[in-house]
Chain A
Amino acid sequence: QAVLTQPPSVSGAPGQRVTISCTGSSSNIGAPYDVHWYKQLPQTAPQLLINGNINRPSGVPDRLSDSKSGTTASLAITGLQAEDEADYYCQSYDSSLSGWVFGGGTKLTVL
């Protein structure tokens, strides 16, 4: 059971906006520790998508944005494109575990 909770799946039509939530607790997201987001394509390693404390890595489109409120972080993708179809993971630090924790992952399907 992942420490951070994500919806198993989300979907949207091309051009639409989708959001992926990541819910934690007072020992991680709510502490507050930064939340980072990764994209994973089939048979490939995850790649950093958004770093929660600095600007997004080069090459990541500004259609993607992140936000945080209390113990929940969110990744928003606007202008959905076929290339956005992938698994998405959130990650943060947990003070009670003294280590890094991930969400269970969300599969984004572009209809």
Chain B
Amino acid sequence: QVQLQESGPGLVKPSQTLSLSCAVSGVSITSTTYFWSWIRQPAGKGLEWIGRLHTRESTNYNPSLKSRVTISVDTSRNHFTLDLTSVTAADTALYYCAAYPGATGSFDYWGQGILVTVSS
């Protein structure tokens, strides 16, 4: 069973970089079965896909965030990270890491989410 756990600061100042980590357990992050994603949800609003990573394929990002986002992997720690630069209040949201099998494209596994507030 794949388990995911987000971690990182809950408060980030405007114009700074938001950095989050997602610890993966139950499967190796180098597994060819899964793609690893970040998804966010502003309070009271819907879900927004941020991007996805697979250790054997190129990383893809939401075009609306592409210029500010980097998703990378640390295979030694079996986790992947999200960096979002030049944040504003509009980036305040609950951030989830999630995993989907490449064969289905459905997000079968989710972390519990981490609230990140952008404020000075």
Give residues in A with beta carbon < 8 Å to B: 2, 33-34, 36, 38, 44-48, 51-54, 57, 89, 91, 93, 97-105
Looking at B9-17, B82-90, B100-108, the stretch in contact with chain A turns out to be B100-108
Q: Which residue of A lies closest to B94 (CB)?
A: A45
Contact across chains for A99 and B107 when beta carbons are under 8 A apart: no
Known contacts A45-B110, A45-B111; A100/B105 CB under 8 A: yes
B residues near A, CB below 8 A?
37, 45-49, 51-52, 60-63, 96, 104-108, 110-113
Distance in angstroms between the alpha carbons of A54 and B37 in the assembled complex: 21
A54–B105 Cα distance when bound, in Å, is 11
Q: Which partner residue on chain B sits nearest A101 by CB separation?
A: B49
Question: In terms of DSSP, what is the predominant structure of the interface of chain B?
Answer: loop
Task: Give how many A-B residue pairs fall within 8 Å (CB-CB).
Answer: 65
Contact A91 B110 (CB under 8 A): no
Q: Report the minimal beta-carbon distance from B106 to chain A, rounded to whole angstroms.
A: 4
Question: Which A residues are CB-close (under 8 A) to B106?
Answer: 34, 36, 48, 51-53, 91
CB-based nearest B residue for A6: B46
Q: Which residues of A contact B46 (CB under 8 A)?
A: 2, 89, 102-105
Given A45-B96, A45-B113, A97-B62, is A36 in contact with B47 using a C-beta cutoff of 8 Å?
no
Q: Which among B37, B49, B61 has the highest number of chain A CB atoms within 10 Å?
A: B49
**Contact A99 B47, beta carbon cutoff 8 Å:** no
Q: A103-B46, A105-B47 are in contact. Are A48 and B107 (CB under 8 A)?
A: yes
A19 to chain B, nearest CB (A): 19
Tell me if A102 and B48 are in contact (CB < 8 A).
Answer: yes
